[in-house]
Amino acid sequence: MRVQPVKFNQRMARSLEKFSDQGGEKIANYINAAGKFAIAPLMILYNPFTKESKENKKWAAIKQPVEAVVTILAQLVSLNVLYKGVDKLAEKGKLQFQLVKDAIKDNSKIPASIMETAGNNTEKALKLLDETCVGIFKDRIGTILTIAMFVPVLALSNRIFPKIADILVKDNDEK
């Protein structure tokens, strides 16, 4: 049975929309991890311009997927904890943004696109504006957290990868 192009395109569009709702930092992490996991090892193993031994290439190639898995797991766990904390603070009213405060006092400060999305309902627009500010805030502190996690994640992956590489390279060399 042949898949209808329109249905496939609609599913693809919905999937991309859900993916993009994850937020900028999470998307960057997914793309980076996917590249390290799938593309980097191939580039290392089949690079015709290097004179490295096959064993060195194997070790270097194995490091990339291990590092990708460790990185994505650490970042997703830490970002989810951080985002839940931010959401709790926002729900309790402990996280307030100047733009929202200004918009409460003067409705003309609400961006036109948000007002249009809210159907010109000021109350809905203020809520949407606050949600947008929280989302931007989460994305920015997520970037800071990702940068702060770089060294610990790298140290962890450098401890794990030799053990995995040793098993994989020795098993393949003995065959």
pLDDT of residue 20: 61
pLDDT of residue 146: 85
Collect all residues with Cβ–Cβ distance below 8 Å to 134 and sequence separation of at least 6: 86, 87, 90, 95, 97
Query: How many angstroms separate the CA atoms of 62 and 160, rounded?
Result: 11
Confidence (pTM) = 0.66
- Mean pLDDT score, 74-83: 89
Backbone dihedral region for residue 30 (phi beyond 0: left; psi -120 to 50: alpha; all else: beta): alpha
Question: pLDDT band for position 143 (50/70/90)?
Answer: confident
Per residue in 88-128, pLDDT tens? 999 998 988 999 999 999 989 999 999 999 898 999 999 99
Question: pLDDT band for position 79 (50/70/90)?
Answer: confident
Question: pLDDT band for position 86 (50/70/90)?
Answer: very high
SS3 content of the chain, % helix, strand, coil (to 5): 85, 0, 15
Q: Give me the DSSP letters along 22-64.
A: T-HHHHHHHHHHHIIIIIHHHHHHT-TT----HHHHHHHHHHH
Collect all residues with Cβ–Cβ distance below 8 Å to 135 and sequence separation of at least 6: 23
pLDDT of residue 18: 67
- Mean pLDDT score, 47-56: 83
Per residue in 144-172, pLDDT tens? 998 898 899 889 888 888 888 778 776 55
pLDDT of residue 10: 75
Residue 77 vs residue 29, higher pLDDT: 77
- Mean pLDDT score, 62-85: 88
What mean pLDDT value characterizes the chain?
83
Q: How far apart are the first and last CA of the chain?
A: 42
Query: How many angstroms separate the CA atoms of 17 and 22, rounded?
Result: 9
